[in-house]
A and B are shown apart, each in its own frame.
Chain A
């Protein structure tokens, strides 16, 4: 479970390109709503110094899958490649790559080190300007090759978009089994691409809901039901497996979410049937009330600068999204469309708030600016809920029930709404929570 998370990232460790300085570089603008996937060639990583060809193939496969799933790249079929590369430090024959319409070429090499580790070295080339966009090498234990591959994909993503990637991340989710009336709900964790799924809780005497990742640590907060007692908010340390109830309250505490600096947990607390929003300081365990309304106030989410909080309230009759200052002042409604708006989640970039909308029996995941303008719906189905942002704020994951009676599954979608993908999970899964980039 506690895998070594250390990868030695040594950017430009080996000779950076002497080929720089050409004209316009190839770049992907992910701020545009409409992105043509960029044709990219990823030949099988070269293996040297006794590294097995298998590990080269495995790493290449993970890199290609990451890039493809992002929707920003279209990976050209390896069978079309003309040049057979034999060394990561040799300049490619760009004509051969232009001929198959590649715009970007990723050349990688895996070297077996004498201490048992592997070194993964790679260069990203702009095929049209014959220019190197970047070079990187990682040293890591051989059994950590998947993380090395995700780091390669993150490096390519950043070289071409100028923004951090999100491939070397994990997802916590609720794994569901058993009949609906007596559903077992336990926490699981996996890599962002569905690999390495592992249980975090056994789910035997309690049901777990709505996990959320700390933006700063390998820690999550969630709500759990023990037997028939009101649900309570818990903290869970992924490294140590330590679990702790966040205070003991007579009423239910639920819908927890970390503040962006990880020092507070926002949550709803129910007293005499009414739910309001509170924040708890994790160091002192002091609880501060933020809303005081006879209506339901739920699902708080703080802006990345820590100044504002979005939440759901039905004070206006039906559920709508509101934004307030983080001390509870200046509460303002920001959504006014038809149907119900719920589960607002502030993007780590700060520019958008994701939400669940329901209208005439259909559910949608959408985004809106914090001032209420620019609403866009990205998905639609029988039930879509529980959006969570990739740490770079460019992709959302959520859970979906495709039709009446269908079990829940995890999906991801980009901000154009076009790149909708099912996320592989072992069985039924709901309530995804995306981790920050791993250290």
Chain B
């Protein structure tokens, strides 16, 4: 069973490598296009449809209040840009990971992280993104973005983070 899992994951990683190899070989033309259509952006060298592109031009992370999973206006606007970006790259698949700060119990935070990931997923779907492109995961408080134990770190660590898991087009 463990063996199976490892093989599958290795397979997925291999696929990703292939994708990025393709993107790189087509790179120069495409990024020239992007450069002209997004004038003013310093996105030189950013591969369109890549994780970097998502982060720079849409935003890949939304934040939550303490013990909350409702989307703030700011989170909705970030997810709105994410949805638009995902429509530009309709073959792209994403993973939305829900995370929590360290000021809760381990088990409840696992459940809360799942809520946060689902809130982001459901909002993207409501904006027309095909739900089959989105998987979710909760890491609870186990994978903090900011290791410090401060209010600032905790507000960063209460998030739903979008990562590209498969590309295409």
Which residues on A are within 8 Å of B, measured CB to CB?
A: 179-183, 185, 205, 207, 209-210, 223, 225-231, 243-245, 251-252, 254-255, 268, 270, 272-275, 296, 298-299, 312, 314, 318-319, 340, 342-343, 356, 358, 361, 383, 385-386, 404-405, 430-431
Contacts and interface: CB of A to CB of B under 8 A. Distances in A.
Interface in B127-152: 136-140, 142-145, 147-150
B108 A270 contact: no
Contacts of B139: 225
21 contacts: A181-B144, A209-B140, A226-B5, A227-B9, A230-B136, A252-B114, A252-B137, A255-B107, A268-B110, A273-B114, A273-B115, A274-B114, A296-B115, A298-B111, A299-B107, A312-B107, A312-B108, A342-B104, A383-B103, A386-B106, A405-B148
Nearest to B95: A228
Nearest to A296: B111
Chain A interface helix/strand/loop/mixed: strand
B107 A404 contact: no
Scoring A231, A268, A318, A358 by chain B CB atoms within 10 A of each residue's CB, the highest score goes to A231
Given A181-B143, A252-B138, A231 B110 contact: yes
Contact of B110 (A228, A254, A361): A254
A274 B115 contact: yes
A187 to B, nearest CB: 15
Contacts of A180: 144, 147
Contacts of A270: 111, 114, 138
Chain B interface helix/strand/loop/mixed: mixed
Given A228-B95, A228-B137, A274-B115, A183 B105 contact: no
Nearest to A180: B147
B154 to A, nearest CB: 10
A245 B144 contact: no
A270 to B, nearest CB: 4
A230 to B, nearest CB: 5
A273 B107 contact: no
Size class of B's contact patch?
A: 35 or more
Contacts, number: 110
Contacts of B97: 228
B83 interface: no
B112 interface: yes
Interface in B88-106: 95, 97, 102-106
A343 B109 CA distance: 11
B146 to A, nearest CB: 8
B104 A358 contact: yes
A296 B108 contact: yes
B6 to A, nearest CB: 7
A166 to B, nearest CB: 24
Given A181-B143, A244-B1, A210 B138 contact: no
Contacts of A272: 118
Contacts of B43: none
Contacts of A430: 106
Contact of A209 (B106, B122, B137, B148): B106
Nearest to A361: B103
Given A298-B107, A319-B108, A225 B145 contact: no
A431 B144 CA distance: 18
B117 interface: yes
A180 B143 CA distance: 7
B1 A179 contact: no
B1 A385 contact: no
A383 B149 CA distance: 12
Contacts of A268: 107, 110-111
B119 interface: yes
A296 B137 contact: no
B2 interface: yes
A254 B121 CA distance: 21
A251 B97 CA distance: 13
